[in-house]
Structure 1
Amino acid sequence: MAGDWKFEVPTAGTKHLPPDARYMEALSSQGYGFEVAIADLVDNSIDAGAKDVVIHFLRDGDQLVSLLVIDDGDGMTDDGLDVAMTVGGQRSYGAQALGMFGTGLKSASLSHASSVTVVSKTKRTRPAGRRWLMERAMADFQCDIVEPDYAQLLMDRYANCPIVWSGTVIRWDGVKNFPQYGGGGQTDRYLHRTINKVGFHLGLYFHRFLMRDNFNITIAVEDVATGIEYMNFGVVPLNPFAYPVSGHPDYPRPFVAELPSVGSVGFDAHVWPPKSTLDEYKAVGSVMERQGFYFYRHDRLVQAGGWNNFRQPDQHLALARISIDLPDHSQEVFRLSVKKEGVEMSPEVVAALEDAQDGDGRLFTQYLKDGETAYREARKTSGTIRKPVIAPGKGIDASVRETIEEELPLIPGEDPISVRWQTLDNGIFFDLDRENRTIQLNQYYRAAILGGRKGTLNDAPVLKSLMYLLLHQIFEKEYSGKREKDNLQLWQSVLVSAARAELERVADGE
């Protein structure tokens, strides 16, 4: 009704509505990746002034039992532990602190473990500890007080490595993605895969800290029954801007965007050299994912790649990277996710980037054109202009997909071509599902081709890569002509003979 609308909502007092205990379950279901959760704990260590942080996997024979994060920071008193273990506990953050919301320790830990124990001591206090059990936290928010003798024992276990006068130990038990059955090398494979992933993530997101002389992160694996340390290595910094020579002579170059609500925001535009094989270039996702903005908050990387609605990913911008140090008190225009792995830019920032300039009046939009030019020129130097292809998809190893995307231009807007094993007639080796963009391989021959190895989604990378290279053009045409059909029949015959030869070798025990 006209005239009745009120712009201010009238109220009649307040009512206290504390969170239901199930809030803890919601807090721990925010989709933390394993390495992202560990990075959140490292944030706390850095805020505590730690110089050394150890990520310690404990195993008992073939069974993984616990994960610990230990640091030599300032430590916490009893009262400090209570605040740290309180959901949203109110604590004062320093001007350069990495922590923000007061939820990271709890939500990151309980996303991956059924129990998190924190034991800590300062230079002037004895060790003290608290423990959250997920089932108890969900029931009534009752947090356990750790026995003082055990708190002392845990501190003594890591005395001088790395704890000297003070420090903190965070222990995860009941880790959800630890292998349930460690036999057959399953634990070793899990550790190799997971430690590589964790090391890459920490090396990338904390590279500015790791490049300092006074900060180290170590990853180690110990057998608690024998005391044998299977692995111990330092995390290497992966600077996403550490190219040996620029991919364009005019870059890197500083730009400035003027934001009405924040003021001047500076950033540096870089162009990587083409076809780099350095880990610093490849540490972030695919070609499409690693281009764009790299946001830092207090020297900690909080987003690696992406265009944040400024523009769409483009293969021709594969070499373009921009580093932005987020200004303090800019949360209204640069909103950081709780997990600290993404930034949401307001429309104000997007508009300001369109007009951003360097000191010579060069527009940021010109940088994007220069980045595309560097990519295109690198293609021309190969002497051959390759035709665009439909991208490879599921079933093909990520490293192979990445190489194909770097070597071949992609047809935009097309669903990728997947490769999967399927039950087929034994007289054929492969089939094509055009509607679902899938190359189907005959499951009957899988074991022989894998040579007894366990099958996975991305197994047989050589075979699948060759099948993609043979068949991708079939999906790129409206129909197959006589020549394509004859080639398909030829390939079927040869591959069936080769697969049957593999089966015979397996049967003969060769």
Structure 2
Amino acid sequence: MPYQPGSVWQYDVPTTGSTHLPPDAGYGRALTNQGYGFEVAVADLIDNSIDAGADKIVVHFLRDSERILTLLIIDNGRGMDDAGLDAAMTVGRRREYDDSALGMYGTGLKAASLSHASSLTVVSRTKRSRAAGRRLTAEGIADGFRCDTVDARYAQDLVDRYDGVIEWQGTIVRWDGVRAFETVTRGQSDHYLSKAISRLETHLGLYLHRFLQQGLKLDIAVWDISSGGEGGIGEEVDHIAVEALDPFGYKVPGKKGYPKVFTAPVEGLGEMRLTAHIWPAKSKQAGFRQIGSLADRQGFYFYRHNRLVQAGGWNGLRNPEGHLVLARVAVDLPAQENSVLSLDVKKENVTVTPAFTLGVEKAVDADGHTFHQYLSDAENAYRDGSKRTEIVRKAVTPPGKGLDPKVKRVIKEELPEKPGEEPISFSWGSLPRDRFFELDRENNSVVLNKEFREDFNDGRRGGANDAPVTKTLLYLLLEDCFGLGRWERSRQDRVDYWNTILLASAEAHRARRAQAGS
């Protein structure tokens, strides 16, 4: 029935037709201003790789001697053909997602990438289609949402270059004109990469920890194209295997009987399960201390399809406070979208309505204990732990590049770090025949004699983090030789006789290998 002016209140707004309005080219500028942090943007792209069935993913920084050039993310997922690439690069198009997919809105690839880079290139191959690629630039979007087709020969060459990851199928996402990289001044690339990779490793290890625990292989690598290397195309100078950072990975709970499962009656959703944990007081485990401020990390940990989407915060239930730093609650979001709990486009925070917090207030476990009793238990565990005296270990200069990440993580768990100190790195270099190692105190580096490298890698070519036992022992021996003022003769004498003894040990090791091979 047509609308009659002056009629009673209309609950549905009447319409007389519709018009299709394509987005203005200025919409492209909005894609570059979504507020994505660097780590959040990379994680969003990795979500796409996981949705494509990838079990091997590499985040690859390319650099030369002076600059960081570009970033690539390579996976061995199902890949895309030409039609799939066109759909993926269409701005504003939302595709259909599986019930277990990590993607939600269909904007992540473009928005996350163009928030940081001026050019986004996607090259892909399926088992049944050749390598193909598309490129989207800020200029192309302004020019009527133009998407460029990548030369098929280049697409194939790029896929072939990463045949260690992409065997029959897979995808490569490439960022060029990364704004953060362009701000790094000459000579500061090493420092920037060290910090950036450390933050990225922590973020990915935390937010994807369930996938990493289930077998996902996720690496971060740095390739220096100016260093010659095999075939003149450069060489790998750093490589990190991302390990799971489980925010609930304690060995013994902070209070007996935990974790406990509470059931919260949430209007509009029914019953929700809250798995309440209490960490042991003063824990040094990475999943407790190395994922950010303890005050910020208390509270709710929301998961969507096993992917962490919020790491801490009480969402209006209460304010964070020091006595609750041991309290963490795991919540799996409902599979279907709803009006009670909503996730932001960056998959970083969950917005809740009062229905959720009211339901948590009424939550009980199987024995009738209330959620408020849980919070009281967490406070008491904190207070009891604060009363205990502990041995204070001497702070150390942290380990850096060249030492296996697993070793670095344990060192950080066991020993406090000296604030403001540059990490001690390890590398192989050309040294005199009578030296096993040398100290580069100006650059906080330990240089090992590369003549012995194969001996400590069973005759194989080692990677950036090879010979972990040798490097770890050297770190423990030499850590207090860095960050000093005056260099004492007695300390130099100690370094000299360590060198002599270790050199004899290396020669003995080489002789035994030669004897075993003869």
Same fold (TM over 0.5): yes
Q: Does 1:173 align with 2:180?
A: no
What's 1:201 paired with?
203
Match for 1:307 among 294, 314, 317?
A: 314
Equivalent position amino acid for 1:219 in 2? I
Partners of 1:224 and 1:138 in 2: CA distance? 33
Q: Give the superposition deviation at 1:286.
A: 1.4
Match for 1:63 among 39, 62, 67?
A: 67
Q: Give the superposition deviation at 1:95.
A: 1.5
Equivalent position amino acid for 1:188 in 2? D
Equivalent position amino acid for 2:220 in 1? I
- Whether the 8 Å contact between 2:94 and 2:107 is mirrored in structure 1 is no
- Whether the 8 Å contact between 1:284 and 1:304 is mirrored in structure 2 is no
Q: Give the superposition deviation at 1:327.
A: 1.5
Q: Give the superposition deviation at 1:117.
A: 0.1
Partners of 1:179 and 1:26 in 2: CA distance? 21
- Secondary structure at the aligned position of 2:301 is classed as strand
After superposition, residues 139-154 of structure 1 pair within 5 angstroms as: 139-154=143-158
What's 2:257 paired with?
250
Q: Give the superposition deviation at 1:182.
A: 4.6
- Whether the 8 Å contact between 2:123 and 2:133 is mirrored in structure 1 is yes
Partners of 1:7 and 1:263 in 2: CA distance? 28
- Whether the 8 Å contact between 1:195 and 1:219 is mirrored in structure 2 is yes
Partners of 1:262 and 1:138 in 2: CA distance? 43
Match for 2:237 among 230, 234, 252?
A: 230
Partners of 1:350 and 1:252 in 2: CA distance? 20
After superposition, residues 429-440 of structure 1 pair within 5 angstroms as: none
Equivalent position amino acid for 2:242 in 1? V
What's 2:219 paired with?
218
Q: Give the superposition deviation at 1:381.
A: 3.3
Q: Give the superposition deviation at 1:7.
A: 3.4
Q: Give the superposition deviation at 1:359.
A: 0.7
Partners of 1:327 and 1:94 in 2: CA distance? 14
- Secondary structure at the aligned position of 2:282 is classed as coil
Q: Give the superposition deviation at 1:181.
A: 5.2
How many residues get paired?
A: 385
Partners of 2:24 and 2:290 in 1: CA distance? 41
Equivalent position amino acid for 2:222 in 1? V
What's 1:18 paired with?
22
Match for 1:95 among 89, 92, 99?
A: 99
- Whether the 8 Å contact between 1:117 and 1:132 is mirrored in structure 2 is yes
Equivalent position amino acid for 1:170 in 2? V
- Secondary structure at the aligned position of 2:193 is classed as helix
- Whether the 8 Å contact between 1:54 and 1:218 is mirrored in structure 2 is yes
Equivalent position amino acid for 1:218 in 2? D
Match for 1:81 among 73, 82, 85?
A: 85
Partners of 1:202 and 1:138 in 2: CA distance? 33
- Secondary structure at the aligned position of 1:178 is classed as helix
Equivalent position amino acid for 2:211 in 1? F
Equivalent position amino acid for 1:169 in 2? I
Partners of 1:350 and 1:86 in 2: CA distance? 39
Equivalent position amino acid for 1:11 in 2? T
Q: Does 1:319 align with 2:326?
A: yes
Q: Does 1:113 align with 2:108?
A: no
After superposition, residues 58-457 of structure 1 pair within 5 angstroms as: 58-159=62-163, 161-180=164-183, 182-184=185-187, 186-213=188-215, 215-225=216-226, 226=228, 227-382=234-389
**Could you give the per-residue CA deviations for residues 344-383 of structure 1, whole angstroms, max 9, x where no partner exists?**
1111111100101111111111101111111122223349
Partners of 1:181 and 1:233 in 2: CA distance? 22
**Could you give the per-residue CA deviations for residues 117-138 of structure 1, whole angstroms, max 9, x where no partner exists?**
0000100000111001112213
Q: Give the superposition deviation at 1:266.
A: 0.8
What's 2:53 paired with?
49
- Secondary structure at the aligned position of 2:60 is classed as strand
Q: Does 1:8 align with 2:12?
A: yes
Unaligned runs of 5+ in 1: 384-451, 454-501, 503-510
Equivalent position amino acid for 2:200 in 1? V
Partners of 1:283 and 1:45 in 2: CA distance? 26
More displaced 10-residue stretch of structure 1: 4-13 or 306-315? 4-13
Partners of 2:16 and 2:317 in 1: CA distance? 44
Q: Does 1:31 align with 2:32?
A: no
- Secondary structure at the aligned position of 2:364 is classed as coil
Partners of 1:379 and 1:66 in 2: CA distance? 47
Partners of 1:347 and 1:27 in 2: CA distance? 31
Q: Give the superposition deviation at 1:17.
A: 2.0
Q: Give the superposition deviation at 1:112.
A: 0.4
Partners of 1:24 and 1:334 in 2: CA distance? 29
Partners of 2:320 and 2:282 in 1: CA distance? 18
Partners of 2:62 and 2:238 in 1: CA distance? 11
- Secondary structure at the aligned position of 1:86 is classed as coil
Structure 1 residues 3 and 89: alpha-carbon distance in aligned structure 2, compared to 1, 3 A threshold: closer
Partners of 2:313 and 2:84 in 1: CA distance? 38
- Whether the 8 Å contact between 2:184 and 2:192 is mirrored in structure 1 is no
Unaligned runs of 5+ in 2: 1-5, 229-233, 391-441, 444-484, 486-518
Partners of 1:75 and 1:105 in 2: CA distance? 14
Equivalent position amino acid for 2:173 in 1? I
Partners of 1:343 and 1:62 in 2: CA distance? 41
Q: Give the superposition deviation at 1:91.
A: 2.1
Equivalent position amino acid for 1:209 in 2? F
- Whether the 8 Å contact between 1:22 and 1:139 is mirrored in structure 2 is no
- Whether the 8 Å contact between 1:262 and 1:330 is mirrored in structure 2 is no
Matched-pair identity in %: 52
Structure 1 residues 361 and 311: alpha-carbon distance in aligned structure 2, compared to 1, 3 A threshold: same
Partners of 1:246 and 1:85 in 2: CA distance? 47
- Whether the 8 Å contact between 1:179 and 1:187 is mirrored in structure 2 is no
Equivalent position amino acid for 1:158 in 2? Y
Backbone CA RMSD of aligned residues:
2.2
- Secondary structure at the aligned position of 1:293 is classed as strand
Equivalent position amino acid for 2:329 in 1? I
**Could you give the per-residue CA deviations for residues 87-139 of structure 1, whole angstroms, max 9, x where no partner exists?**
23232211211001000000000000000000001000001110011122133
- Secondary structure at the aligned position of 1:117 is classed as strand
